[in-house]
Amino acid sequence: GAGVSQSPSNKVTEKGKDVELRCDPISGHTALYWYRQSLGQGLEFLIYFQGNSAPDKSGLPSDRFSAERTGGSVSTLTIQRTQQEDSAVYLCASSLGDRGSQPQHFGDGTRLSIL
């Protein structure tokens, strides 16, 4: 497809389980971003990739969160030992060029619910 694709669209899991969220950016976009959106809150930055490298991981809330990107394309956000406070919509975005030079284009997110 032409846009940013995220899967799954919804994920329900039990507290303590690990989850993997996937993002497929727009073809040719070298920059990729993960955000978290909680009800009534603004988008919270998690991590930024340029190619396969992550020059800014400053938004990852704890060491239970990690992300990787392979082939300069698909990215996976992993949350280990999930907690109820991890429940949120996780959004992925991509853009051309360096961060800040072009608008970011978003996927529709993964809605994560921790029981």
Partner 1 sequence: EDQVTQSPEALRLQEGESSSLNCSYTVSGLRGLFWYRQDPGKGPEFLFTLYSAGEEKEKERLKATLTKKESFLHITAPKPEDSATYLCAVQVKASNDYKLSFGAGTTVTVRA
Binding residues for partner 1, per CB under 8 A?
A: 4, 40-43, 45, 48, 55-56, 91, 93, 98-100, 103-109
Residue holding tokens 């989850």?
19
Contact 18, 76 (CB under 8 A): no
| Cβ proximity to partner 1, 71 vs 103, nearer residue | 103
The DSSP call for residue 110 is E
Contact 112, 90 (CB under 8 A): yes
| Cβ proximity to partner 1, 55 vs 61, nearer residue | 55
Sequence-ordered list of residues with C-beta below 8 angstroms from that of 17, at least 6 positions apart, any chain: 81, 82
| Cβ proximity to partner 1, 1 vs 40, nearer residue | 40
Min dist. Cβ of residue 101 to partner 1 (A): 8
